[in-house]
Amino acid sequence: MNKAELIAHIAEDAGLTKVQANASIDSFIDAVTKTLKKGDKVTLVGFGTFSVSKRAARTGRNPQTGETIKIKAKKVARFKAGKELSGKL
Protein backbone atom coordinates (compact mmCIF):
# COMPACT_ATOMS: atom_id res chain seq x y z
CA MET A 1 0.00 0.00 0.00
CA ASN A 2 1.38 3.40 -0.93
CA LYS A 3 0.46 6.80 0.49
CA ALA A 4 -2.29 7.49 -2.06
CA GLU A 5 -3.96 4.15 -1.31
CA LEU A 6 -3.70 4.82 2.43
CA ILE A 7 -5.27 8.26 2.00
CA ALA A 8 -8.16 6.78 0.01
CA HIS A 9 -8.70 4.04 2.62
CA ILE A 10 -8.70 6.47 5.56
CA ALA A 11 -10.99 8.91 3.73
CA GLU A 12 -13.49 6.14 3.08
CA ASP A 13 -13.37 4.61 6.58
CA ALA A 14 -13.50 7.91 8.48
CA GLY A 15 -15.93 9.69 6.16
CA LEU A 16 -13.38 12.39 5.31
CA THR A 17 -12.37 13.94 2.04
CA LYS A 18 -9.07 12.84 0.55
CA VAL A 19 -7.65 16.32 1.25
CA GLN A 20 -8.55 16.01 4.95
CA ALA A 21 -7.14 12.47 5.13
CA ASN A 22 -3.92 13.64 3.46
CA ALA A 23 -3.62 16.51 5.96
CA SER A 24 -4.10 14.05 8.83
CA ILE A 25 -1.41 11.70 7.57
CA ASP A 26 1.00 14.58 6.92
CA SER A 27 0.36 15.90 10.44
CA PHE A 28 1.00 12.44 11.95
CA ILE A 29 4.26 12.03 10.01
CA ASP A 30 5.37 15.53 11.00
CA ALA A 31 4.60 14.93 14.70
CA VAL A 32 6.47 11.61 14.75
CA THR A 33 9.44 13.13 12.90
CA LYS A 34 9.71 16.09 15.29
CA THR A 35 9.45 13.82 18.33
CA LEU A 36 12.15 11.47 17.03
CA LYS A 37 14.43 14.42 16.21
CA LYS A 38 14.22 15.45 19.88
CA GLY A 39 15.32 11.94 20.85
CA ASP A 40 11.98 10.95 22.35
CA LYS A 41 9.82 8.00 21.33
CA VAL A 42 6.22 7.71 20.15
CA THR A 43 4.17 4.86 21.59
CA LEU A 44 0.79 3.89 20.16
CA VAL A 45 -0.63 1.30 22.54
CA GLY A 46 -1.61 -1.85 20.67
CA PHE A 47 0.15 -0.73 17.49
CA GLY A 48 3.82 -0.14 18.28
CA THR A 49 6.62 2.21 19.20
CA PHE A 50 8.70 4.52 17.02
CA SER A 51 12.13 5.28 18.48
CA VAL A 52 15.63 6.42 17.57
CA SER A 53 18.69 4.24 17.95
CA LYS A 54 22.33 5.00 17.34
CA ARG A 55 24.33 2.98 14.89
CA ALA A 56 28.03 2.91 15.74
CA ALA A 57 30.74 3.72 13.21
CA ARG A 58 32.08 0.62 11.52
CA THR A 59 34.16 -0.56 8.61
CA GLY A 60 32.58 -1.93 5.49
CA ARG A 61 33.67 -3.19 2.12
CA ASN A 62 32.98 -1.76 -1.32
CA PRO A 63 31.47 -4.73 -3.19
CA GLN A 64 32.79 -3.56 -6.57
CA THR A 65 36.41 -3.02 -5.63
CA GLY A 66 36.75 -4.96 -2.38
CA GLU A 67 38.25 -1.82 -0.82
CA THR A 68 37.69 -1.32 2.92
CA ILE A 69 35.71 1.84 3.73
CA LYS A 70 34.71 3.63 6.91
CA ILE A 71 30.98 3.99 7.57
CA LYS A 72 30.09 6.92 9.84
CA ALA A 73 27.98 6.60 12.98
CA LYS A 74 24.38 7.75 12.55
CA LYS A 75 20.95 7.77 14.12
CA VAL A 76 18.25 5.60 12.61
CA ALA A 77 14.49 5.40 13.13
CA ARG A 78 13.16 2.13 14.53
CA PHE A 79 9.68 0.66 14.80
CA LYS A 80 8.79 -2.14 17.18
CA ALA A 81 5.37 -3.68 16.64
CA GLY A 82 3.13 -3.89 19.69
CA LYS A 83 1.73 -7.13 21.06
CA GLU A 84 -1.71 -6.59 19.55
CA LEU A 85 -0.35 -5.87 16.06
CA SER A 86 2.06 -8.80 16.24
CA GLY A 87 -0.78 -11.09 17.26
CA LYS A 88 -2.85 -10.10 14.22
CA LEU A 89 -0.03 -10.91 11.81
C-alpha triplet 45, 21, 50: angle, nearest 5°: 30
pLDDT tens digits, 12-51? 999 999 999 999 999 999 999 999 999 999 999 999 999 9
Q: How many CB atoms lie within 10 A of CB 86?
A: 10
pLDDT tens digits, 1-13? 999 999 999 999 9
pLDDT tens digits, 36-46? 999 999 999 99
Q: For the full predicted model, state whether its pTM sits above 0.85.
A: no
CA dihedral 41, 74, 63, 61 (to 10 degrees): -130
